[in-house]
Structure 1
């Protein structure tokens, strides 16, 4: 066999293998690049910021890897959705993690909150401590979720107007709660719900059904993570 023929036969043997490898690589790579795990994921909630900032405000949701630089005298309070851990941080560099922050050159104290970390979430990319309304989910398919405060905080995007809160048994008159910048804090308005009672809250065309836990927190100033319901 001539040298050219030997080279051609070798190429014929190697060529399909090479393309099989490239095809295999092309199938695998998008799975890693486009994996849901690499997409935006909410991990923490801003409870309080001691100074006004352009990049951070109360009730902001933060993703894993988000970095915050604090002045030496600046304080930040975060709560983690998956672990129900609350952090009070003073100064330093803060990097949002999965269940707690990485804090460099600053001080941090942590405490555990009472909240549900089971399958309360209704969106796959958001954690379970905060109650989220699932898009396109009907009332009949929605299992009431427990609220762990008698003073919930209701958040519905840029909605302006009033939330209507009605107990499902209709034993009480419905509450009309004013909304500012999409948020209504029942604690600030001294409007307490009843433990063990199921409620429907309506904001325009949006609604959600939830039940207040029998042992719900009774403080008007409980952390937002315990009280927040997001439409």
Structure 2
């Protein structure tokens, strides 16, 4: 039989695991009114968070699992796992194309970037390239690392100089006026975090919403 200490330790571990899962971010603040700093643009939102918006304040939220985008103006907002609870008269909800549940978590992305390799598709290529964790249909991704800081973007399938992007919460290549190569394979790094992604060969310079261009790592 298990001792009381073992049972208590098991219960504590289970509680911590549940808390960690519950605390995982569910949504991204895509945009916010200028007078709203907490949360602000590019902040992650966890399920259960309550946000009080004053009259005139607004938020645009993208839910990463459900690909639901919400525009909320004023009032009380409770963040869920796939959508918010708010006064329906102040909420505009729509579905947008995005990676949804296929978007990797921070740990999975780091593992994919560091450990999975495959043969280069180029003719006669002998070198190995990392496997892409996801493929984007936009030429200008939104790169959002777990922690704010400088981001280095490196092309892996062609000889190009790495790009050091401005430090901050995220790097929106669309706002920076940067377009990547269709079919290109890239690695984004920020501190100890990294992810490898590919641009779809048929990708075009479309103005897609942030959730459709999001690369989490």
Alignment TM-score > 0.5, same fold: yes
For 1:62 and 1:217, the matched residues in 2 are separated by 30
Closer, same or farther in 2 for the Cα pair 1:155/1:122, shift >3 Å? Answer: closer
Closer, same or farther in 2 for the Cα pair 1:217/1:89, shift >3 Å? Answer: farther
Closer, same or farther in 2 for the Cα pair 1:205/1:56, shift >3 Å? Answer: closer
Gapped runs of 5+ residues in structure 1?
A: 1-18, 125-131
Aligned residue for 2:171? 184
For 1:200 and 1:137, the matched residues in 2 are separated by 8
For 1:136 and 1:227, the matched residues in 2 are separated by 19
Determine which structure has more spread, i.e. the larger CA radius of gyration: 1
Aligned residue for 1:166? 155
Q: Which residues of 2 match residues 132-151 of structure 1 at below 5 A?
A: 133-134=109-110, 138-140=114-116, 143-144=131-132, 145-151=134-140
> Secondary structure of the equivalent of 1:138?
helix
How many residue pairs end up in the alignment?
202
TM-score, normalisation: structure 2: 0.75
Given that 2:66 and 2:101 are in contact with CA atoms closer than 8 Å, whether structure 1 keeps it comes out as: no
Q: How large is the RMSD of aligned CA atoms in angstroms?
A: 3.3
After superposing the two structures, state which structure 1 stretch, 113-122 or 93-102, moved more.
Answer: 113-122
2:45 to 48, 62, 84: 62
Gapped runs of 5+ residues in structure 2?
A: 118-129
1:96 to 43, 60, 79: 79
Instruction: Check if 1:85 corresponds to 2:80.
Output: no
Given that 1:89 and 1:106 are in contact with CA atoms closer than 8 Å, whether structure 2 keeps it comes out as: no
TM-score, normalisation: structure 1: 0.71
